[in-house]
Amino acid sequence: MSNDRDFSIIRETVPFFLFRPCVQAHPGIEVATYFVLKFLDIPFLMSDDQTCCGFPTFFWNMSPPEVMVSLCARNMLLAKSLACKAVLVVCNACYTAFNHALRELSNNEDLARRIAEIIGRTPDDVNDLDVDIFHVPEMFYAFKDEILRRMRFSLEGLRVAVHYGCHYRRELMFRKFDDHKNPRFVDELLSDLGAEVVDYSEKNLCCGGSGIQSRVHYELSENICIRKLESIHRVGADMIVVWCPACMYRLDICQRDLYKSGKIDFQIPVLHLSQLIGLVLGLNPRTQLCLHLHAISTQPLLEKIKEIWVKI
């Protein structure tokens, strides 16, 4: 199914510049990504010169559009200065911000000049960024052979609901790793790791977060989230996998709140894809994946993966 899709370019862009997320309600996202990359011997760098990608400044209208493009360009130039050919993100918002900035710059000379002036670089620097952007799902897919070779636990018997996230599907429209209307490649990756990937009717529905919706329009946001969760619950999923700290916040922390207030009567553990891959590779669920720091206990999940049986 995925034979015609070319993930191999991703392998050629190491070392990655690992882009650290701002939203840290689940510190395990970053921790797991770090340890999985190390375990798989995939080279990467990090830097304290990194800042936020600027997503909220444009997508939430908090500053003129140039701010986000400038922050992205500056971070990409930082990656380039460290001899990284690609930025690796763990968040759908970062993914969207960088890709959007690249698209804006690529067909607008005036903008490139303006951004160069704002960040104090030459227009040539900005025109010739030559840095690619990858997200963990396509990166893990590109390193599937290594994961299969080094896996310690199979996901056999585990019913997994995959949430791609709106902003990820939207970028697939341009990045073309898969069909953005019905992406399957992560389902396929997880099936290869033994999981039983379940289809559910609201697979493409937003998590309800959208960053600001939960602040400016709580009820709408909550209703969307409930609809999504119920659809996942109906098909009997043991867990949900996401690759965005914002979706994770919504589906884990808000799910717990919905449960506490009696609006739903179930709790489904939510993992970031990096954490799930880490489990498969046998990394320590507590010290390398931080699975004890979730709102909804991940313990039942660990018990389901028969061989693991650890208490976190």
Q: Which residues bind other proteins (CB under 8 A)?
A: 20, 22-24, 27, 30-31, 34-35, 46, 48-52, 54-67, 70-71, 74, 117-120, 166-167, 169-170, 173, 180-181, 204-206, 208, 210, 212-213, 215-217, 220-221, 223-224, 227, 287-288, 290
| Closest distance of CB 115 from other proteins, Å | 9
Q: Tell me the C-alpha distance between 11 and 13, whole Å.
A: 6
Query: Three-state SS for 296?
Result: coil
| Closest distance of CB 39 from other proteins, Å | 13
Closer of 36 and 195 to other proteins (Cβ): 36
Closer of 183 and 190 to other proteins (Cβ): 183
Angle between helices 92-106 and 66-81 (to 10 degrees): 100
SS (H, E, C) 206-242: CCCCCCCHHHHCHHHHHHHHHHHHHHHHHCCCCEEEE
Closer of 20 and 294 to other proteins (Cβ): 20
CB-CB neighbours of 93 under 10 Å: 27
Closer of 62 and 82 to other proteins (Cβ): 62
Closer of 18 and 186 to other proteins (Cβ): 18
| Closest distance of CB 77 from other proteins, Å | 10
Nearest to 291 by CA among 278, 309, 281: 278
Q: Tell me the C-alpha distance between 254 and 115, whole Å.
A: 38
The phi and psi torsions of 192 (rounded to 5 degrees) equal -60, -25
Q: Tell me the C-alpha distance between 274 and 29, whole Å.
A: 7
| Closest distance of CB 194 from other proteins, Å | 27
| Closest distance of CB 154 from other proteins, Å | 26
